């Protein structure tokens, strides 16, 4: 390879690296006009669970909830597991600074699939119900036995 080709290759590498760096800074810029959102876990008002599980079975768990305002958008199901305990809530997305209507909205439903895996005699489901006067989380607990 000649000196001229080596110099051109070096220049192209530097130019490409500079382009990638400039592009990454540009793609990370924050648009002041873009909406800002926060996420909230909202209470489960009701739920439907089976009376018992069979090891290896797949079960549909149904949740009922209401969005606190017309600005809240369903984002998914909050699901946290630890050993035989499952903590369940509804996640919502809320635009920051929006003026929202707090009229009582309709009851909605969401479902998820639960697979009963071997190794547990029961599962404890803790459904998020909101916060008490001191700001502590409130849960409704249901223990579901596993049949072998």
The confidence score (pLDDT) of residue 102 equals 85
Residue range 32-53, pLDDT digits in tens: 565 598 999 999 999 999 999 9
Looking at residue 6, what is its pLDDT?
Answer: 56
List the one residue out of 79, 77, 80 whose CA is nearest residue 91: 77
Residue 98 confidence (pLDDT) = 85
**Gyration radius (Cα) of the chain, Å:** 25
Predicted local distance difference test score (pLDDT) of residue 17: 45
Tell me if 104 sits within 8 A of 66, measured CB to CB: yes
Task: Return d(Cα 39, Cα 136) in angstroms, integer.
Answer: 18
Instruction: Specify the pLDDT at position 1.
Output: 60
Per CATH, is 37-147 categorized as 1.10.3210? no
Q: What is the pLDDT of residue 105?
A: 79
- Residues of the chain short of pLDDT 50, as ranges, are 11-12, 15-20, 23, 25-30
Among 58, 67, 55, 56, residue whose Cα is nearest residue 110: 67
- Domain borders along the chain are 1-31, 37-147
């Amino acid at each position: 390879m000649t000196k001229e080709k080596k110099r051109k290759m070096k220049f192209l590498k530097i130019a490409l690296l500079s382009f990638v760096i400039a592009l990454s800074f540009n793609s990370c810029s924050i648009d002041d006009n873009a909406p800002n959102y926060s996420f909230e876990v909202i209470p489960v008002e009701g739920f439907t669970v089976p009376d018992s599980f069979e090891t290896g079975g797949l079960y549909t768990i149904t949740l009922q909830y209401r969005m606190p305002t017309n600005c809240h958008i369903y984002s998914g199901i909050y699901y946290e597991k630890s050993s035989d305990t499952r903590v369940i809530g509804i996640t919502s997305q809320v635009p920051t600074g929006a003026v929202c209507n707090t009229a009582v909205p309709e009851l909605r439903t969401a479902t998820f699939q639960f697979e009963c895996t071997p190794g547990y005699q029961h599962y404890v489901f803790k459904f998020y119900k909101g916060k008490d006067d001191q700001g502590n989380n409130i849960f409704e607990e249901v223990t579901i036995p596993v049949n072998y």
